[in-house]
Structure 1
Amino acid sequence: MTTGIAKTFKTLAESRNDGAVAILGRILDGQSGMLAREATNALLARSGKAAPREILVRWLRLDPSLRALAAAKPGRLTGVSRDALLAADRPECESAAAAILECDDFEQFSLLAKLVEDDRYPHSDLVDNLLVSLADRLYDGATSLDNYVRQRELQRVRNHTVETLQPLVERYGKHRRRPALEAYCALARRENSVLRRVLREPREAAHEETCDVLLNCPLVGVIHLLVSFLDDPYAPLPALEALARRYDRPFLKELTGRLASPPPRAVVENLRRIESIVWLGTDFAVIDDLDEVSQGGAVRLAAASGMQKPEVLDLLEHVLTYGNVGGRRAASNVLPGFDDPKATELLRKALDDPDPEVQANVLAHLRPRNVQGALATLVAMVESPHDMVREAAREGLEEFNFERYLRTFDSMDADVRFTTGVLVKKVDPQALHDLLRELTAMSRTRRIRALAAAEAMEAVVEVEEPILELLRDSDHMVRAAAAQALGSCPTTAARDALRDALLDRSVVVQEAAENGLFRLAEQVRQQRGDHDLKTQNAIGAVEATEKSGRTYVLDRLSAATLARLSLGEEASR
């Protein structure tokens, strides 16, 4: 901008001659771009109401960039907008309403509240729309995280506005203007005493309409208010009823998002009070249309609610069959909480789900429910390519661990040692590490027991090196046990070590080495039986005992009982 033009607009902005206002107005009408911007700034810089009125009367046809200049100066149009609202001219009122909204002129709430109760005001529809829209903008600004300082300021404005609108709620029977309730509910918090009284007392004039606002009003503030009642330990029943009946998309997104993770206790207590949820009935069209997060939240909502168990199980079955990943994961997570034959069948069905998290969620619950083939399934899942599935399978087979196996090893007969050892090696990821520790223990008894356990677990090949070292142990009984174990290790190193042991100074060791070489030769002609066969034998033994209605652990069993069973201590279920 040239110096001359700048001086001209500076003069027009500072001149005491009211004719300057008319000149600037004509520039706005006939110019655009830089000249229009300078004219707008000059009008905003002048004192009095005449200059901003020139902007207001042209508001609806002003370029958005020029309106933004006015909006950047809060309060500059407040006075003339107030006068325009009180005027009888409809176009002027419409311009004022548009300017108030675009400039976030929240000071006008007090005037709007008075106009709501003025039954002689001719533009009530305009006031109603402005009141609702301005409340929506205030809520959006007060809850925005973009500017913390601005947010705190607008929170104070929000609190003051709620106090301003509160009398409209209390005197609703006189004016019957629903938009006043919508604006109030959009800004009020659930702790508000007047709001709680209106919801709890059917005799209140605003009771029925306020309940309908919670049920149908699309304002974001109203939706957030309704969902916030879930966290209220003393939530009014009408609010919970509205929660159960409402199912527009924005509301469902907010509600199910609130339940994207397992809900806290206060939320669960409120959900139990809801015995029927309209959109979770027999028609699953609504839930089928939800995204992964929302569908998962809907499943948690149904499971925690007071809905009839058959209805919830029907929903879970539908989601497990046709739902998206988020819904199926949530369904598999809540399903174990239902003690019902159908729930057990759904758990079994969930094992075939392609998502590993769904499989992992149900694995640990198979054996407690006596699902047919549970043990075989868990053992098979130990070799899953997914970490979470393997971990869940091991949790379901927690009694098959090396520590417990070793503790009862001496009381087991040979068959039980082998069948259980195969499972322990397969299930316990620390088994080989713990076995190595035992093989290098200071105690002679522990080393001998570890050698026998290595053979029973078919783990001799994996721990061959320390066993070869034990073949040179100072104790001849340890050397003999090592020779015995190497008889099941078909490697060149093991054969060479056993041949050398034939020259051991101890006859016991020589005999053990000879026996070991003989066994290795036999393996060449006829394999002793592969790993999978031993696993199946062990599984069959355990399942046979579980069908009898008993549970066994690896503690304090007699040798006679252990000969019959695949693992430890017998205890009644």
Structure 2
Amino acid sequence: VEAAREELLSPKEWSRRAAYQVLATLRPREAASILSRGMSDASPVVRESIADSLEALANRYYYHLVAVRMYGDLESRRFVDENRANMMESLGPLLRTYPLHAKRVFIDLVIESGDDGYPLVAETLAARTEPATVAAFLHALSTSITEPAVELILRLSLDGRPRLADAAADVMRLRKDAGFPALLATVFSRMAPDRFDSIARRTREVLWWPTVESAPDIDPFTAAKLLEFLAHSGVDAPRRDAMILFFLNSDYADVRVRALATLQSLGHPGLLQTAETLLQDPADDVKLAAARTIIGINPANKARILMPLLSSGSEEVRRMATREVASASFDRYLRSFDRLPPETREAAARALAKIDRRIVDRLAEEITALDPERRIRALRVIDYVDAETDLRQNLLALLNDPDRRVRATAIKIVTLTESVEGMKHLVAALSDPDRRVRANAIEAFEDSGDPRVVPVLLPFLRDEDNRVRANTAKAVWNLGNEEGKRTLQKMIDDPDEMMRLSAV
């Protein structure tokens, strides 16, 4: 080794050539930096020999570098750690003398080295003193199918130095390979979330977009990552949304669904129109996604938009459409309730109950509305569709409603005589200050058909209200007590016209 070191200074080119070869063989770890300095040797023979020796060393290092990245090989990691400093030190001179040896492996090695190699790449592309070296880098980056190459391109595109961003743009224009979008998505998927977001937010122009547009068809995984990147990007909204809309032409239903969801998350101004168009999609999953989007927007004509889905071949699609159309119809029904004739009200309510399985839930919501008019309408619909049993607990709460009309309607439709709890509610209702509540409570006692309730009712034969007294008389009479009949006969002769009318 010492003899070889001495021969490096020999005036004979063959001695110097042999000395470099000996050092490359016996001291491979140190040889890289020594050999790189020898690239300035005056002899082309020596330089060519050194370049070949360096190429062999670089290929070995490159192999272990890739093994670490792809497989996490421990032996390769040890080799890289032991040789990194010398290799990085030698790459600078090798890049500066690239026109003399034209060894592509050195370019690839710098690219594969990631953060360690970036300063060398940036220096070469920013200085541009060696056009051949710059051209070699651009060619390597435009043809490489490794993840470090893609990461390097992205880093260059966001570098503040103009020449570096220009270099990234040149590389993007050169990339025509159909596999580049998938490679890009893989790189995105392995980035830390904060770095991914940072790169996306700083991106104002998507230089790689033409490559995506020219790709035959993009798989769901790739599309998902590219859509996520676009959604987080700093691209102006119209241009960004146009790129996202491109994915609606995908052959994959998953991609079309993801694109629609992305547009929805971004508040795309044409979302409703896009969703309406996708209702015609051949895939049921896309139809469902479009329908859910329309439901979320809740346009005034939602029922009309979703109506065609009622004949869908998919049971799930039909079920969703039926539910939403019925829900919209229920809302319209309640709004027009007071304008409908009584027979139409009941018929329409029963028809809605047949097609809308959620009508009980809707009624449960309505009877808690702040507006007492809505609560009353809901109670009447509950009576029409025989939903008293399902909503019993909800209805019991209305017996204490602050609005007397609500209390009166509730007491009328709830079956209370089948339990001790119900009887307590009825007895309490007999003391309600509102005459309609008392009258309806008495009717409920009558409907029980139980003669044992007569003693509870007898005091109300003297009630000052004509309706309460008449209801009580009828109830007592129907439950088998003649006192009811006698009370009605007295009322017919009462000087109060309303008493006589109620008795009749």
Q: TM-score, normalised by structure 1?
A: 0.49
- In the superposition, relative to structure 1, how do residues 417 and 307 fare at CA in structure 2: closer, same or farther (>3 Å)? closer
2:105 maps to amino acid: L
Q: Determine if contact 1:275/1:306 at 8 Å carries over to the other structure.
A: yes
1:118 maps to amino acid: T
Equivalent of residue 294 in structure 2, options 335, 342, 345: 335
Q: 1:168: which partner in 2?
A: 124
Q: 2:397: which partner in 1?
A: 437
Secondary structure at 2:414 match in 1:
coil
Secondary structure at 2:458 match in 1:
coil
- Long gaps (5+) in structure 2: 1-21, 37-49, 68-75, 336-347, 481-504
Kindly name which structure, 1 or 2, has the bigger radius of gyration based on alpha carbons. Answer: 2
After superposition, give the CA deviation of every residue in 1:542-571 in whole Å (9 maximum; x if it has no partner): xxxxxxxxxxxxxxxxxxxxxxxxxxxxxx
Q: 2:367: which partner in 1?
A: 401
After superposition, give the CA deviation of every residue in 1:349-401 in whole Å (9 maximum; x if it has no partner): 456654489939993997399999999898667635xxxxx89x74xx79733
Q: 2:486: which partner in 1?
A: none
Q: Distance in 2 between matches of 1:435 and 1:459?
A: 7
Superposed, 1:3-82 pairs within 5 Å as 79=30
Equivalent of residue 103 in structure 2, options 124, 128, 132: 124
Q: Distance in 2 between matches of 1:242 and 1:469?
A: 77
Equivalent of residue 383 in structure 1, options 357, 360, 373: 357
Determine if the alignment matches structure 1 residue 505 to structure 2 residue 459. Answer: yes
Displacement of 1:322 in angstroms is: 0.5
Secondary structure at 2:52 match in 1:
coil
Q: Determine if contact 2:65/2:112 at 8 Å carries over to the other structure.
A: no
Q: 1:273: which partner in 2?
A: 239
Structure of higher RCO (CA pairs closer than 8 Å, 6+ residues apart): 1
After superposition, give the CA deviation of every residue in 1:58-92 in whole Å (9 maximum; x if it has no partner): xxxxxxxxxxxxxxxxxxx8545667896414555
Displacement of 1:186 in angstroms is: 0.6
- What is the RMSD computed on CA atoms of the aligned residues? 5.9
Q: Determine if contact 2:294/2:302 at 8 Å carries over to the other structure.
A: yes
Q: Distance in 2 between matches of 1:432 and 1:271?
A: 52
Q: Distance in 2 between matches of 1:440 and 1:339?
A: 35
Equivalent of residue 208 in structure 1, options 151, 170, 174: 170
After superposition, give the CA deviation of every residue in 1:19-59 in whole Å (9 maximum; x if it has no partner): xxxxxxxxxxxxxxxxxxxxxxxxxxxxxxx99968x9xxx
1:207 maps to amino acid: A
Q: Determine if contact 2:309/2:317 at 8 Å carries over to the other structure.
A: no
Q: 1:251: which partner in 2?
A: 222
Displacement of 1:347 in angstroms is: 3.1
Determine if the alignment matches structure 1 residue 482 to structure 2 residue 441. Answer: yes
1:99 maps to amino acid: H
Q: Distance in 2 between matches of 1:268 and 1:422?
A: 57
After superposition, give the CA deviation of every residue in 1:99-125 in whole Å (9 maximum; x if it has no partner): 344335354456446544533354633
Q: Distance in 2 between matches of 1:460 and 1:453?
A: 10
Q: Distance in 2 between matches of 1:480 and 1:312?
A: 57
Q: 1:20: which partner in 2?
A: none
Q: Distance in 2 between matches of 1:129 and 1:424?
A: 77
Q: Distance in 2 between matches of 1:78 and 1:403?
A: 82
Q: Distance in 1 between matches of 2:299 and 2:457?
A: 67
Q: Distance in 1 between matches of 2:384 and 2:400?
A: 23
Determine if the alignment matches structure 1 residue 317 to structure 2 residue 279. Answer: yes
After superposition, give the CA deviation of every residue in 1:209-253 in whole Å (9 maximum; x if it has no partner): 24555983725447878x947975563224484586366445324
Q: Distance in 2 between matches of 1:332 and 1:401?
A: 28
Q: Distance in 1 between matches of 2:100 and 2:389?
A: 81
Determine if the alignment matches structure 1 residue 460 to structure 2 residue 415. Answer: yes
- In the superposition, relative to structure 1, how do residues 305 and 330 fare at CA in structure 2: closer, same or farther (>3 Å)? same
- Long gaps (5+) in structure 1: 1-49, 57-76, 136-157, 385-389, 489-493, 522-573
1:125 maps to amino acid: R
Superposed, 1:404-553 pairs within 5 Å as 404=370, 406=372, 419-422=380-383, 432-439=392-399, 446=404, 450-455=407-412, 458-460=413-415, 465-473=420-428, 475=431, 480-488=439-447, 494-496=448-450, 500-501=454-455, 504-507=458-461, 511-513=470-472, 515-516=474-475
- In the superposition, relative to structure 1, how do residues 114 and 498 fare at CA in structure 2: closer, same or farther (>3 Å)? farther
- In the superposition, relative to structure 1, how do residues 424 and 373 fare at CA in structure 2: closer, same or farther (>3 Å)? closer
Q: Determine if contact 1:256/1:301 at 8 Å carries over to the other structure.
A: yes
How many residues are aligned here? 389
Q: 1:235: which partner in 2?
A: 203
Q: TM-score, normalised by structure 2?
A: 0.54
After superposition, give the CA deviation of every residue in 1:455-486 in whole Å (9 maximum; x if it has no partner): 2xx33259864442255457396664322134
Displacement of 1:323 in angstroms is: 4.7
1:505 maps to amino acid: P
Superposed, 1:94-105 pairs within 5 Å as 94-102=59-67, 103-104=76-77, 105=80
Query: Percent identical across equivalent pairs?
Result: 11
Q: Distance in 1 between matches of 2:299 and 2:398?
A: 45
